[in-house]
Structure 1
Amino acid sequence: MHVLTFGNHEFEGRNNAYLLSDTGTVTLVDTGIATPRIREQFATELHERGLGFADIDQIVLTHWHPDHTGLAGDIQAQSGATVYVHEADAPLVRRDPDALDELHDRQRVYFDEWGIPPAAQDELRSALADDHLVGQPPTVQSIAEGATIDGGARDLRVLHAPGHAAGLCCFAFDGDSGREAFVGDAILPKYTPNVGGADARVDAPLATYLDTLERLANQEFARVWPGHRDVIENPTARAREIIAHHRERASRILDILREAGPADAWTVSAHLFGELEGIHILHGPGEAYAHLDHLDRHGLVERTEDGYRVRPERPALEAIM
């Protein structure tokens, strides 16, 4: 296995793709964004290993975001590679107009509900409409929980891991250190994956993601390979750390609501993250919303015409997280 590394200033940071080429089948796990710079870096990484785009037999995508899928269609056009992605994300990867319209409609409703000011909404829509990160759409083959993909020297077992994206999948395999997995953005070594803003289609986004983290923590992987930055050598501990982070963030949000009175997601986001620009106008209030929604569903806060407020009689935070 080879780790292919690319720059990524548009999203979380350094992007990874993974090349499996130790047998006759050449497999890629994820691709970078479809900018000329990343396309050139990708071609160079492959060339150093005696390969080109035309040699790729299959592409396995962890989820639909462009920093993981952007070059899939371009590579497929040169190689005829089969492109696998979870059935929930397949319509977005193949750029189905109805699926894109549904996503954008959901986002527009949320932007108003979260209280994003009109000028910030305009800036965000401009950022989201910039499709230079996505190349030509691929033809995809849908996969689901429990499927197995022949990765040559290793079989890749599909673990559906929603939260950050509705169709995010991890791919478990027997590695050099024991049971390992490619995890995309399910868990990351430095930052915590965004929930709420990253995919407006996910219902109860924080609860969904916490369930995924618990599942990954219980897999007892020896190590996992994320979509950004370095290998995670103790993924169970990292998953537990992210769960604790969200518990602390929920506690902080309760403090904000006590101090600031009823507040919408945009106001809570400002307290958490400060001033936002570009794609972070989506991620900041989206993350705040995911927590407010979770607290509301479990009776710790309630939504009023003036925003969310803390309920005077409520369960303990530890009871729900």
Structure 2
Amino acid sequence: MDRITLDNEEFEGRNNAYVLADESAAGDDDLALVDTGIATTDARTQLREGLAERGYDFTDVDAVVLTHFHPDHAGLAGEIQAAGDATVYVHEADAPLVEQEPDAVEDFERRRRESLERWGVPDEPRDELLGFLAAADGITGEPADVTPIEDGDVLEVGGHRLETIHAPGHAAGLCCFEPLEGEGDDATEAFVGDAVLPVYTPNVGGADVRVERPLEKYLATLRRIADRNYDRVWPGHRDPIEDPTDRALTIAAHHRERTENVLEVLREHGQADPWTVSAHLFGDLAGIHILHGPGEAYAHLDHLRHEGVVALEDGEYRLVEPDRAFDLDDLVPVPVPDSETTSDV
């Protein structure tokens, strides 16, 4: 697969923009990108240079397929569209944020502020986070005129047919895209964005505060990816994943272990808000992790609340039956392989 790697120091490592080009008709290339990278000077230059090495420029891009709305994946989409009138595809749940509709952006920011308060994030780290986000505001780039898509849609771009696989959890509209070789054929590979990553575990809970029951949705996404039994997947960051079924199940195992750790925090320290649980899990946090840490703790606490294991009272979670031993296979019902994972809050 033809990919251009792009700088990204704040999130899960270097980004990937994938180039799909149909050169079957001389002088009439059909060019598409899967994700664009972040709207920074370095990433923009690297994407332009990568396209130039292949004989293209932004003006030649006919379609941009976005795995989700996060700026390190969608930041340059509007600029590319403005240069050459490319069609920009993204799931309907994320479309308003890529279009930067004022009401959608305001609602998202309001939900984030309310989440920080609800999770018990103190004033000082909250101000640090909001300052970090304000300083990084330009990375979202220009708004794009979006063509919304949904699960099961097939896109014909860059000489490929891509089937849309909705994969929420990390983001409400996150999608994987399966290149289809023929009618009825099972896809052996997929572009997966941040649904699974080769080194870190995608953040759940803080990365998109719009997602209801984020851990439950993400576990379902991991099961769906594992069930599709791909030979290889192409993530939004770093290198391809050669055994994606094992990787998906490994990440599920990580979340089962984290669920156990959250239960242990409540057993040892009593009722607590997500910020306090996060401090026990991750220690001191800075930058974007001030959002991701308590968000991850919240995702697990929220999952346990819906399972009837904890109760929420005045912003704090407590064990309903402190002395009870729980079957974690019931709480996080995903098969677990014998392998290890690296966590990133």
TM-score normalized by the length of structure 1: 0.96
| 2:188 counterpart SS class | strand
Distance in 2 between residues matched to 1:139 and 1:305, nearest whole Å: 42
| 2:88 counterpart SS class | strand
1:125-204 maps to which residues of 2 (within 5 A)? 125-129=130-134, 130-174=136-180, 179-204=188-213
Structure 2 residue corresponding to 1:317, chosen from 328, 333, 339: 328
Structure 2 residue corresponding to 1:229, chosen from 238, 241, 252: 238
1:233-252 maps to which residues of 2 (within 5 A)? 233-252=242-261
| 2:18 counterpart SS class | strand
**1:64, distance to aligned residue in structure 2 (A):** 0.2
Give per-residue Cα distances to partners, 1:231-289, cap 9 Å, x unaligned: 01111111110111000000011111111111110011111111111111000000000
Match for 1:104: what amino acid?
E
Give per-residue Cα distances to partners, 1:3-62, cap 9 Å, x unaligned: 110111021111101001133210000011111111111111111111111111100000
Contact residue 163 and residue 180 of structure 2 kept, 8 A: no
Structure 1 residue corresponding to 2:72, chosen from 47, 67, 71: 67
Identity of aligned residues (%): 57
Structure 1 residue corresponding to 2:278, chosen from 234, 257, 269: 269
Give per-residue Cα distances to partners, 1:114-166, cap 9 Å, x unaligned: 00001111111122223121221111100011111112432000000000000
1:87 maps to 92
Distance in 1 between residues matched to 2:302 and 2:216, nearest whole Å: 9
1:2 maps to 2
Give per-residue Cα distances to partners, 1:181-213, cap 9 Å, x unaligned: 100000001100000000010000000100111
Contact residue 53 and residue 78 of structure 1 kept, 8 A: yes
Distance in 2 between residues matched to 1:96 and 1:123, nearest whole Å: 26
Distance in 2 between residues matched to 1:183 and 1:81, nearest whole Å: 22
Contact residue 63 and residue 158 of structure 2 kept, 8 A: no
83-92 or 5-14, which deviates more: 5-14
Structure 1 unaligned regions, length at least 5: none
Distance in 2 between residues matched to 1:244 and 1:234, nearest whole Å: 15
Contact residue 174 and residue 180 of structure 1 kept, 8 A: no
1:35 maps to 40
Number of aligned residue pairs: 320
1:297-312 maps to which residues of 2 (within 5 A)? 297-305=306-314, 307-312=316-321
2:60 maps to 55
Distance in 1 between residues matched to 2:6 and 2:210, nearest whole Å: 28
**1:178, distance to aligned residue in structure 2 (A):** 5.9
Match for 2:243: what amino acid?
N
**1:311, distance to aligned residue in structure 2 (A):** 2.1
| Runs of 4+ with >4 A deviation | none
| 1:163 counterpart SS class | coil
Structure 2 unaligned regions, length at least 5: 24-28, 333-345
| 1:132 counterpart SS class | helix
Match for 1:185: what amino acid?
D
Distance in 2 between residues matched to 1:4 and 1:109, nearest whole Å: 37
Contact residue 185 and residue 193 of structure 1 kept, 8 A: yes
Contact residue 262 and residue 306 of structure 1 kept, 8 A: no
Distance in 1 between residues matched to 2:87 and 2:81, nearest whole Å: 7
Residue 111, structure 1, aligned to residue 120, structure 2: no
296-305 or 279-288, which deviates more: 296-305
1:277-296 maps to which residues of 2 (within 5 A)? 277-296=286-305
Contact residue 17 and residue 32 of structure 1 kept, 8 A: yes
Distance in 1 between residues matched to 2:144 and 2:158, nearest whole Å: 22
Contact residue 196 and residue 289 of structure 1 kept, 8 A: yes
| 1:241 counterpart SS class | helix
Structure 1 residue corresponding to 2:127, chosen from 118, 122, 143: 122
Distance in 2 between residues matched to 1:9 and 1:108, nearest whole Å: 24
Distance in 1 between residues matched to 2:294 and 2:255, nearest whole Å: 15
Match for 1:221: what amino acid?
Y
CA-atom RMSD, angstroms?
1.5
Contact residue 300 and residue 314 of structure 1 kept, 8 A: no
TM-score normalized by the length of structure 2: 0.90
Match for 2:106: what amino acid?
D
Match for 2:132: what amino acid?
A
